[in-house]
A and B are shown apart, each in its own frame.
Chain A
Amino acid sequence: MHVPKRSRGGLVPLGHSGTRRRLAGSLAALATAAGVLSACGSGGTTTLVWYINPDSGGQAAIAKTCSTSQYTITTQTLPQDANQLRVQLARRLEAHDSGIDLMSIDPPYTAEFANGGLLAPIPQAEQATLKQQSFKGAADAATWNGQLVVYPFWSNTQVLWYRKSFVQKAGLDMNQPVTWAQIIKAASDNGGTVAVQANKYEGYVVWINALVSGAGGSLVQDASAGVDAKVTINSQAGEDAAQVIEDLAHSKAAPPDLSIAQEGQAGSAFGAANGAFMVNWTYIWHNYDTTQPDVAKDIGYTMYPETVQGQPARPPYGGIGIGVSSYSKHIADAQQAAACLVAPKQQAAQAAITGNMPASPAGYQDPAIQKLFPADLIKLFEDSVNAAAPRTVTPYWSDISGAIQSTWHPPTSVSSSTPSASATFIHDVLTGKKLL
């Protein structure tokens, strides 16, 4: 059970042992009372605890809006790192922690949570409503075994951001779809960089998945077969993806911190004097508004680059779904709260604060979003979400992702033999023959 911060109070200097004893007694009484009352807020209302990924206040704001006279939604922040977020939630839920009512989950781990019985089933009527309101990609990423298991909340995607002054200098026509080879060459020839996410973490697999999907392939097929899923990264598409990474890692366009670059480092590289291109999430649009206004004015955007010329790109799909814990003591209230939190209006309200885009077309139409982004950028986001390639929905995603990270990192080690090596390794990891 979650013990409120109240029990931490009373850290005052103590005079003598009598005071100390009295204070200890009071603290013990307070802690007990806090434990008894923790499920109830002031005035007898239920307190629902929502574990959120860190953001700039969007989730906390709509938690307040969606609180009712029946329950109050409070937020607790989870780690930034997607895998650490998963670990913390899963460990607590496996211990049947009733202190978690609602949680923000990254799409690739949805299946793992659902398969482990950690998520309360969503009523069928609610599932129908959610499917209807959400983008198809968002609903697919939230589905396991034919059931919608989390409430689609955000649906983030990546686009290609570029510096307008640089492409003008390089003479690149950004009104046409561009390929990775083109932007790497343009950056390389003109002293610019191509910023991507290539640290050994989930974001690197997001990039690899987009590259492989963009070449018409996939990492894994038949994911519902669990450990017997078909590993398909060893294909022409896998080799095309490896080629892009190899080219960038060995070109002058690679930022020096390529092998440790996450979203933030990529943002810094793009904002530097030699920044030219970057693939990154939607929230980047407002990243430089106050810190580097000159860069903010220089940002252009277009569809994610193609892996193979002529074959439409499949941008990454990210986002957040809200899950209701099966160990919550207030499942009905939590489900009601989740339905409110993912209503298109709330999706838009949080997007207006954080830049994390809604998971529904209706959310995109909200005036708050229209005010926040230029119309053509909103259209680009929507097109990108519709074209996006979600990562494989499987309870074994963390194994697959970890195995890819092990074999494809650092980017300078990637070659044409990487896809086959990683396919063998993924298979061995899934079947328990190799350590990950």
Chain B
Amino acid sequence: MTATTIPRDQTKAAPAAASDRSVAENRLGQKLVAPALILMVLVTAYPMLQALYLSLFRYRLTTPDDKAFVGLGNYGVILTDSLFWKDTLNTVLIMLITVAVELVIGFAFAMVMHRIIFARGVMRTAILIPYGIITVVSAFAWQFTFSINNGWVNGTFGWLPGISSTTNWYGDHWHAMFAIMVSEIWKTTPFMALLLLAGLSQISEDMLEAAKVDGATAAQRLFKVIIPNMRAAIMVAVLFRALDAFRIFDNIFIMTKGAQNTESSSFLTYRQAIEQFQLGMGSALSVLLFLTVLLLAYLIVKLFRVDLAQARGE
């Protein structure tokens, strides 16, 4: 059996057939959106250009006399520094692991929310609750959970090999990374599930019925019908979560403050710009972070080979 997807051509209206009315409606739409767009560009463009400008200087707030133009010097220091690459690696690792785990659990949750017959509202709400909690609050909750002094993990899972009453979860790199990732996964899986649920509900029941009549097993229906037809939804879910995970900050700030080499790219940028008042270096890091996120978005869109317009249902 081959994958069954709705042909792309059917989802696209032929551009040539656009009537005068739809062209006029489009124009009106553009005019209506323009003020908001201009305002957004003004609000976001200024700080972005300012960051770009500042990144070319050695500039520290508390030693203002020491300001000097260094060109691309800050970028040179950053790109040749082991700390930057270590933090980037941490960030990529957190992103890959958390998004992969969330995709699997989130899909299972989406299936539950989609298929459940009884207590649907209660179940959907229960699954979505973690996403409604402020990240800082959930990070504190997980920090206490793994705490050696007042957490319950050591007591409850003490029977597992490698865990005892004296396991210090924030005492070494891998334990601390594990705790951070658990907190991140718990908090954002519902978001992934929600996006996947939207994709799941778009799959035609007729198609599934047809597959069933053709003798497809449940696994075949999942892998050959459901998932291929959800590609756009999966792409949106993975894109959103990957970009979100790449900017991870709150959990690290609350749980380890970057100790045990658990720092992420955002955290490094925060420390340079906010804690050390290194506006030049901090701006250069934020520019690099922005470019990385752009690159990441481009790669994910390419990887899934999905037309964004199709994903939006145009």
Q: Which residues of A contact B (CB under 8 A)?
A: 83, 87, 90-91, 94, 112-113, 115-118, 199-201, 226, 256-260, 265, 268, 395, 398-399, 402, 409-410, 432-436
Give every chain B residue within 8 A of A258 (Cβ-Cβ).
168, 171
A-B contact count (CB 8 A): 80
- Residues B81 and A112 in contact, CB atoms below 8 Å apart: no
Give the residues in chain B near A118, CB-CB below 8 Å: 62
Beta-carbon contact of B276 and A399 below 8 Å: yes
B78 to chain A, nearest CB (A): 6
Q: How many chain B residues have a CB neighbour from A under 8 Å?
A: 29
Determine if B277 and A260 form an interchain contact, defined as CB atoms under 8 angstroms apart.
no
Of A83, A201, A259, A402, which contacts B168 at CB under 8 A? A259
Other-chain contact of B61, A94, A226, A409 (Cβ < 8 Å)? A94
**4 tightest A-B CB contacts, nearest first:** A200-B259, A116-B62, A256-B166, A435-B81
Q: Are A433 and B170 touching (Cβ within 8 A)?
A: no
B249 to chain A, nearest CB (A): 15
Establish whether residues A265 and B272, one from each chain, have CB atoms under 8 Å apart when the complex forms.
Answer: no
Query: A395 to B63, Cβ gap below 8 A?
Result: yes
* A115, B61: Cα distance in complex, Å: 10
Other A-B pairs, 12, CB within 8 Å; known A83-B275, A256-B168: A87-B274, A90-B61, A90-B62, A94-B62, A116-B62, A200-B258, A200-B260, A259-B170, A259-B260, A268-B149, A410-B171, A435-B77
Cα-based distance from A259 to B173 in the complex (angstroms): 12
Within 8 A of A (CB), among B76-98: 77-78, 81, 83-84
Question: A410 CA to B172 CA in the complex, in Å?
Answer: 8
Q: Does B268 contact A (CB under 8 A)?
A: yes
CB-defined contacts of A409 to chain B, threshold 8 Å = 259
Do A436 and B277 touch (CB < 8 A)? no
Question: B15 an interface residue at 8 Å Cβ cutoff?
Answer: no
Would you list 13 pairs from A and B whose C-beta atoms are within 8 A, ordered by A residue?
A90-B61, A94-B61, A94-B62, A116-B64, A260-B148, A260-B168, A260-B170, A399-B276, A402-B276, A410-B172, A410-B259, A435-B272, A436-B83
Contacts of B160-200 to chain A: CB distance below 8 A: 166, 168, 170-172
Q: Does B271 contact A (CB under 8 A)?
A: yes
User: How far, in whole Å, are A113 and B64 apart by their CA atoms in the complex?
Assistant: 12
A200 touches B257 (CB 8 A): yes
Interface flag for B224 (CB, 8 Å)? no
| Contact A435–B268 (Cβ < 8 Å) | yes
Q: Which residues of B have CB within 8 Å of A436?
A: 83, 271-272, 276
Task: Tell yes or no: B281 within 8 A of A by CB.
Answer: yes
Q: Are B275 and A398 touching (Cβ within 8 A)?
A: yes
CA of A432 to CA of B58 in the docked complex: distance in angstroms?
A: 9
Taking CB atoms and an 8 Å cut-off, the chain B residues in 124-155 that contact chain A are 148-149
- Docked-complex contact B149 and A265, CB < 8 angstroms: yes
**How far is A226 from B94 in the complex, measured between Cα atoms in Å?**
38
Take A259-B171, A432-B77 as given contacts and tell me if A116 and B260 are in contact as well, using a CB distance cutoff of 8 Å: no
Contact between chains at B171 and A116 (CB < 8 Å): no
Does the CB pair B63–A116 fall under 8 Å? yes
Contact with A along B264-295 (1 / 0, CB 8 A): 00001001101111000100000000000000
Shortest distance between the CB of B266 and any CB in chain A (Å): 14
Chain A residues closer than 8 Å to B62, beta-carbon distance:
90, 94, 112-113, 115-116, 118, 395
CA distance A199 to B171 in the complex (A): 9
Tell me which residues across on chain B come within 8 A of A259, comparing CB atoms: 168, 170-171, 259-260
Chain A residues in 8 Å Cβ range of B81:
434-435
A259-B168, A395-B62 are contacts. A435–B84 as well, Cβ < 8 Å?
A: yes
Q: Which residue of chain B has the shortest Cβ distance to A200 in the bound complex?
A: B259
A226 to B62, CA, bound (A): 12
- B281 contact from A87, A90, A113, A435, Cβ within 8 A: A435
Tell which of B148, B257, B259, B272 touches A256, judged by Cβ atoms closer than 8 Å. B148
Q: Once the chains bind, are B83 and A257 in contact (CB under 8 Å)?
A: no
Residues of B within 8 Å of A256, CB to CB, are 148, 166, 168, 171
Residues of chain A contacted by B274 (CB below 8 angstroms): 87, 91
Q: Chain A's nearest CB lies how many Å from the CB of B309?
A: 40
**Complex contacts, A116 vs chain B, CB 8 Å:** 61-64
Cα distance, A200 to B258, chains bound together (Å): 9
- Residues of chain A lying within 8 A (CB to CB) of residue B258: 200
Task: State whether A257 and B259 are in contact (beta carbons under 8 Å apart), knowing that A402-B276, A432-B58 are contacts in the complex.
Answer: no
Q: Are B168 and A433 in contact (CB under 8 A)?
A: no
| Identity of the chain B residue whose Cβ is nearest the Cβ of A260 in the assembled complex | B170
